[in-house]
Structure 1
Amino acid sequence: MADDRKDEELMQFLDEAPASKAALHKSGGNSVWRILITDDEKDVHTATTFALRNTRILGRPIEFLHANSARETIEILKSQKDIAVIMLDVVMETPNAGLDLVAVIREELKVTDSRIILRTGQPNQAPEIEVIRDYDINDYKLKSELTQSKLYAALTTAVRSYKQIRMIEAGKKSLDLIVRSSAELMSKSGLNAFAQGVIVHLSGLLSVPPEGLICVRRTDCRNEGQPEIIAAAGQYCALIDKPLSDLSEETPRSLITRCLDSRENVFEASGLALYLGSSARGDMSCFVSSDTQVDEVDQALLELFCTNISISADNLALVEQLRSYAYVDEQVGLPNRNALIQAIDEEIAQGRRDKSVLALVNIDNFAEMNASLSQRYGDQLLKAVGDHLRSSFSPPTMLARIGGDTFAIFGHESVVGAESVAAAFNTAFTVEGDAQLISVTSGCVPLREAEGNAISVIKDANIVLKAAKVSNRGGVLQFDRYSLEQAKGRLELLKNLRAAFDQEQLFLMYQPKIDIQTGNTIGVEALVRWPLPNGDLVSPGVFIPLAEQSGLIIRLGEWILRTALTELRSLNENGWPRLEMGVNLSVAQLQHPALMDMLKAVLSDTGVDPSSVDLEITESIAMRDMERKSQLISEIKALGFKVSVDDFGTGFSSLNYLQKMPVDCLKIDQTFVHAVNEGNGRDIVELIVTLGRKLNMRVIAEGVETEAQANTVSELGCDEVQGYFFAHPMTREQLHDWLATRSH
């Protein structure tokens, strides 16, 4: 009886022909399991098809594809996708045709997810275990074993395995899409652009055309709680910025409403609505049209997508706020330097350099007003200037605040120019109820005259502005290529000077001072030198003013004094105990509040006698703010230093103040010494010598280059001389040798 049932279950109906391929392809691959039967026996195709007619596996019907040879199998696999199971005969054209075909399927065609069930009518043709393992074969059956129930069981196991593999692969791809979508969406600017991107990425995730829309029901109830369409794609594009009630289609309107009300995702065969809400920005729902029901796995992935997108949307407000901080000056409500750089670079990229002008405007004496009238007043003034600029220049002209009290006006040359900039500040500003008329200095740079990108353009404008502060304060200075190149040269030189100083490339030379009557060396003057890589020296007349203007002179001046006094101690210890060291003090050093502390520290560190140190101050500096300078010089002399007035005769000294100024020596400027034997040059030198005698000061003639000059200044009664006729500046080694030679 059991044998009879076994025979019945075998069910080999030889008269039934397989259905045509066209008929088998009617149903889509997503709603059926596609089974490929490869066998050179027509009866096997017929029996298998009949045995599994009307059979459903895991809720889906079966669709059969048929191949009679390895060649036909390869053609089908190349043209057809989503084949769940391949039922493959081992013996066809050759005894191992099926096994050879497995290698082609896996290695050449790269079909890795389809499950393979090997079938054979010859028990001795069983494949090796290694073949089953290496080629990922799902099962091996004898044809005689494949009763209806066993065939169903084998296919169910294979289909379940195929489904799991596809779910894992789909999950990996979907997760990758989710991660990339979230990252790309975070780069969107603004909620509307972000929402538009959500529709596109969600459609890509579902592999459907981008047909959908996003609605927001805001928490501020500005639309009385009615959902508003903020983004749309496909046929819904015309509905952007309109209420959801304007949507005529019932299905999407209903799905979105259900989603917003329940705050949960809604999945239907006609489409889906995802909840992307937030307590911070209001309820948000995304509808995407679809013609298939989303399965459980995809629903779980979409839940993950929603979580990522919701977090991204929540962070969008923060991103926008940070963007505002990055490009907006909060104090005056204008764009900042970053925004200006971006705007200029865009103009350059779009080829509009020829007609654009950048003007920088700086408030004159703002620091003084801020200090005397309070910082609050200064802040109000800056705000008033920003408001006034907005009323004077309208878009597309761009206004920006790029630094403390410096504003920028950027636009077409017909709008931004010297006259329009000056006119904007001809009227008074109202600050804290008071009318305030301010003075501003401006520098204008046409982009066609500037080179490089936006940063270079702003740098050029700053150079023009600084030049205007010096030569045209209170006015507008237009760009001048020659002056700019000179200024750039000075900036480059200053940069190199800083580098040279930091790398200890600067050094001191020493020029002797001679007693004109005895010929003895009574001292030396320390002179700083800056060598270039080619061996040339940069003139101190060039780099010292740069150091003074930049503030580098404070560090440089202390280094010069410390190095000079260290050398003086070395000279004293090596047999020249009575030599003096002359060192120049700059105006910046004299104005620096830490000058006295610096002098005390250098004296303490070097241990020299301050009475052998002569600090030289130029006449123009000494006579500026003479009451304060007189007090300062008294404090310096109280430390034991000597003080000389350098370059005397080039300034405008008041004899009254000079008489009260506690200095020890006058140094006649070399221009007078060079002309001492010409015209009235002798009279001028004689006058200075007489003045020094009357004020009980020593008189030094500097720049003596000839014997005739030396004889004349000696005749006129100068105490000391200094110049090339007696000695050139020397390095410390040369100085030691020179002194040793003279002493012998």
Structure 2
Amino acid sequence: MVRRGAGMGDPVRLLIVDDEERNRDLLCDLLDRPEYEHLMAESGEDALALLERQSDVAIVLLDLNLPGIDGFETLRRLRRMEGCSDIPVLLFTGAGLTSSLVAEGLRAGAVDFFGKPFNPEWVEAKVASFARLYLSRKRLERELRLSAGVFEYARDGLLITDTERRILTVNKAFEKMTGYPRSEVVGQTLRMLQSNAHPPDFYDHMWRLVERDGVWEGEVNHRLRSGTVMPQWLTIRAVTNEQEEVVNFIVSLTEVGSHITDRQQLYFLAHYDSLTGLPNRKLFVEMLEQMLKHAGRRRREDGPNPMLAVMFLDLDHFKNVNDTLGHEVGDELLKEIARRLKGCVRGTDMVGRIGGDEFVALISNINTPEDVAGIATKMQKAVEEPVCYRQHEMRVSVSIGICIFPDDGDAVAELMRRADVAMYQVKASGRNGYQFYTERMQAQAIRHMELEKGLRRALENDEFTIYYQPFIDARSGKPVGMESLLRWDSPEFGRVSPGEFIPVAEDCGLIIEIGAWVLRHACLQTRALREEGFPPLTVAVNLSSRQFHDTSLLDLVDGVLAESGLDPANLELELTEGVIMQESEATASTLQGIYDRGIQLSVDDFGTGYSSMSYLLRFNVDKLKVDQSFVRDLPGGEESRVVVQAMIGLAHNLSLKVIAEGVEEKAQADWLAEHGCDEIQGYYFARPMPLEEFREFLREHYGG
């Protein structure tokens, strides 16, 4: 049913969805304006069918309580329909606007809410606000279509930038001349076309003239997307407003030559990374050598001079992206990260890619290390922003090592090596940060290499041992399971802390082999305890991110269970929130495989990482492990009490078990048991112990 207003121009079509005629009529009367056209539907199905036919609906007013599919499901289906993803949808209900209802509505795609009975002023104001936005957008679209034709089909390559010189749009001729599609250049600056064929101060001088005269023209050698270098006639004009303030720049490109020489092509292939277009290691080293020579001359002639910084950058967990989503997606991620890193530095600085997920930066003319720290922080924030490609959303972080000339060295190899050492120190400290090189790091780098060699020997020479720390049932006080904890007694280094050797194993890839060793021996020893007459115990084995994303994980688990004869229900795999939150098809498939085998899945260090807990609903999790940082202040700490009680309540509402780790005092254990915690782990009951001691511990509780 349609009711038309008497207005002219673009009608604002309102779709009113309510199964009660009096409500539809009431809303029509409240929203009786000449510019409004009312479309009405009695159910969600009718509304969706109408939207299939009527593509220009401006606003949807949707009742939640509908026959058939309800308002939430109607909204979710609407959002998946072509051309409907941006239509404002206002939900209304007579059931009361509770926080949970509003949250579900927002997740489904609602933009606003109102209740029944209707508040006339409220409804009119909300709809009028969205109607004004709709009409403004329509007017702007008409104006843009008129001017876009001239811009889009000009013979010269044209682009428009903002006052920060970031590209807002380009025309078809620009795309054809440079090879860059509009989607890759919007948001970037003209630096993306720089070929290093001009002196470092060339572009600074060019922009100074634009700022002074309002225009600049000249021949520039630009790097195309293919990597070739092409001479082009460049014209830059400043656009000002009525107050003569610069608001935009218009740039035009005209081809000067129609071909490039083989020599130019060979130069590009030898000096630039073909994937990202960034300088490669060879060009980076050449530029660093030149800058060091120049700095050396200045020091001899003028005394002290500004410093320069060498930065080594390594993307954290990039391998997981390649392993789970494929190299095509990984390449797109690298290209986007390269673009962002370039946007973090000045035109006189350099960002390069030296292989894989490793980047370098050369920052010149700095006065203090704090200048570089600011750039490093900017790079971190830029890299952490999600990268979307097709249906995938990827998040990575970056570890950055920084070395300063002349304080940390005055030779190319020395500066690069020390920046690399600083970067690895960031990796060892937990990743996602930056550090400046110190002499102490050199000793730590040597220690890292020695431990890596020692770990390889440890696997061959059977130097590892599994210790067990029991899980205690909070009600009965009996052990019901245990966590397997790896220990390394090295003939060369003595007892090495897991906090030291596990990160080394992850860095060098040995964590896959070591993890397989732990899983196999933990299952064999747990099965042996069962055969000795002890009750069935659940053994928990930690999986690192690299282990979890290894494509052979499920085959390994199947083989170990078959060899050991352990019931899958007595195996618990522990993952951190960060691993589970790396949502992908591969992650979901592996988690489903764990569930299908009847293996338990627990979330370690719960509450310390991501605030989003939707994964608890999406994946089949069995147990939450409350981190010891929340247990430490119990029972006296009010904030800890509130947080832990909330965690226990959340878990039990989702039919999950809760275990608290790091329990060291009786008062903590009593409080946790009183408030419903299922299992407890910590020094109050027992420290981690080797198998023989653990067997004796079980005898004390179960006899035998």
> Aligning the two structures, in what range does the TM-score lie when normalised by the shorter sequence?
0.3 to 0.5
Give the number of the structure whose alpha-carbon radius of gyration is greater.
1
Superposition TM-score, scaled by structure 1 size = 0.42
Superposition TM-score, scaled by structure 2 size = 0.44
